[in-house]
Structure 1
């Protein structure tokens, strides 16, 4: 597994002094004689956006359900907000926010009245450091639904309904937010606005976000760190740039000189291009440098895992 190693002590990452919000060690899930999760281990820090990627059947949904306390694990240690999810009480659950792929109830409610009503469930769980819930008008504005605050939910468009899904998930001002395919059905503008919202939640409100998505471009834009799950185990853990460097290793430089097309792979594309111009100067045309994208990295890692089985 590719990873950036860290150690924890009393809920803190000793290498960064950041609080560990989610810590998984040796997680295993077995159905009958088949392990769907094997020795899964990763963590997320306070205010971090972590993307969990993996092909269908990799074990992402099972992992998330265990972290949320909805499914019992077979073995391993899981610590979420300082507690074992298998024994989390109502106060612990008040610190979690969950945005599923879709909600299809509450159609007769109006946007603002539904959020105000849901907020009342969180009021008893305010702490010295977290005031729950969000102010309803602030929340409606934060998700871009101010113009529709008085609209019945059944009249909202798909993108507007998705924003409401997010508002429902964060109404209790969670410390840890689970987002499952959050921008499915969004147009480009709505997706951009939603990305801004996630960044504000993480960086301005110190909300830790665990994102699952099949949109690798979205993961690259949103995530501080990426964990890739395949075949029931973690095969990579790091930033997009770290994973690309460790997997690809080489950049591809393409150029034209005197009408002839050339391609060269190198671990130092900057130095190679500098030398290329030193030798040939203005004769170089149509220069391109291709660095491994997150999609390239993801596909390479998944292929390696499949080949090793």
Structure 2
């Protein structure tokens, strides 16, 4: 199936499995994943570690091959014409791609030359990108002396050297401090406006997806559970979110959950450890009723908040667990696998 007109990225029914190793069953990283992104937009894949985001990006950028399904990038069939796809894309991986011993300008010019640019053209483009990312005064310094934020901006500039039609950003702000993340967000805004390209962004930061993506797909266990603009996804949740944190020495969570479930004005009531979550048409009016029910049940409360819907609420609605809990589960699984590997 070919992508629709005006589409820069299209994936349909992508399936990808990896060997479990040492007699373990295969691991299915993608389980029928599909989405479509319009040209000139930032499309986000949001999900916890292990959801299938990076595998999707590897397939679309020709670094891996799907077991089944179809994918198109810039109108090009990824499986049939991988070389053409590679000429049309820029790729910024999670790990640094620059040579730490080289200077900023040397890294950029080398990237341009590897893409077939003439020497003069590569130098001019490098100067343009160094200026755009605020790195001109650091152009002659070795990259090993750069801060994390500066090095990450250089990685993005390297991906842009040959003026790609589509840029892949695989968790671009992982490991950066909040200030460096915010600075890179601003640069990415300027970059997309100046370059007029399509960006595929993978991230496990809710605020990053909300801030950068024109449209996003939430990925869980290798497939898309919901898709839309951040505002569409949040507005699809009617009413306010109520979150109650139970005191450490309070009653058990099951008693608290039962008390809150008896409040008629609340819906979608759920618990996650000592955190209770629910929705209400009028959160400000309903919260006192919930607190009164908890008090009557002898449950001590540490804090309570009312908020407009967030992407975390969207994730909870479609997966049955909070994004934080999904991240923690993924981290525990990864840690356990690493322990097994080291002990083998």
Common topology (TM > 0.5): yes
In 2: Cα distance, 1:181 partner to 1:250 partner: 31
In 2: Cα distance, 1:105 partner to 1:163 partner: 11
Classify the secondary structure of the residue corresponding to 1:86. Answer: coil
User: Residue 201 of structure 1: CA displacement?
Assistant: 2.7
Work out which of the residue numbers 19, 22, 44 in structure 1 matches 2:9: 22
- Structure richer in helix, relative to its length: 2
Higher relative contact order (CA 8 A, sep 6+): 1
Say whether residues 1:78 and 2:67 are aligned partners.
Answer: no
CA RMSD of aligned residues (A): 3.3
User: Residue 208 of structure 1: CA displacement?
Assistant: 0.8
> How does 1:58-97 map onto structure 2 within 5 Å?
58-97=51-90
Classify the secondary structure of the residue corresponding to 1:185. Answer: coil
Say whether residues 1:207 and 2:197 are aligned partners.
Answer: yes
Q: How many residues align?
A: 265
Unaligned runs of 5+ residues in structure 1 are 1-7, 13-18, 126-130, 255-262, 273-287
In 2: Cα distance, 1:194 partner to 1:231 partner: 29
In 1: Cα distance, 2:313 partner to 2:283 partner: 18
Classify the secondary structure of the residue corresponding to 1:27. Answer: strand
Partner of 1:238: 228
Q: Is this contact kept in 1: 2:3–2:72, CA < 8 A?
A: no
TM-score w.r.t. the length of structure 1 is: 0.75
Judging changes above 3 Å, is the alpha-carbon distance between structure 1 residues 49 and 88 closer, same or farther for their aligned structure 2 residues? same
User: Residue 192 of structure 1: CA displacement?
Assistant: 2.6
Unaligned runs of 5+ residues in structure 2 are 20-25, 244-264, 267-278, 286-304, 324-344
Judging changes above 3 Å, is the alpha-carbon distance between structure 1 residues 89 and 59 closer, same or farther for their aligned structure 2 residues? closer
In 2: Cα distance, 1:26 partner to 1:304 partner: 24
> How does 1:291-306 map onto structure 2 within 5 Å?
291-303=308-320
In 2: Cα distance, 1:46 partner to 1:184 partner: 26
**Deviations along 1:82-131, whole A, 9 cap, x unmatched?**
21222335443122111111226522211112212221233459xxxxx9
Bigger drift between 133-142 and 166-175 goes to 133-142
Judging changes above 3 Å, is the alpha-carbon distance between structure 1 residues 9 and 29 closer, same or farther for their aligned structure 2 residues? closer
User: Residue 186 of structure 1: CA displacement?
Assistant: 3.1
> How does 1:116-155 map onto structure 2 within 5 Å?
116-123=109-116, 135-155=125-145
In 2: Cα distance, 1:243 partner to 1:154 partner: 41
Partner of 2:47: 54
**Deviations along 1:217-276, whole A, 9 cap, x unmatched?**
111110111111112211010111211232x3222599xxxxxxxx98654789x9xxxx
TM-score w.r.t. the length of structure 2 is: 0.68
> How does 1:27-38 map onto structure 2 within 5 Å?
27-31=14-18, 35-38=28-31
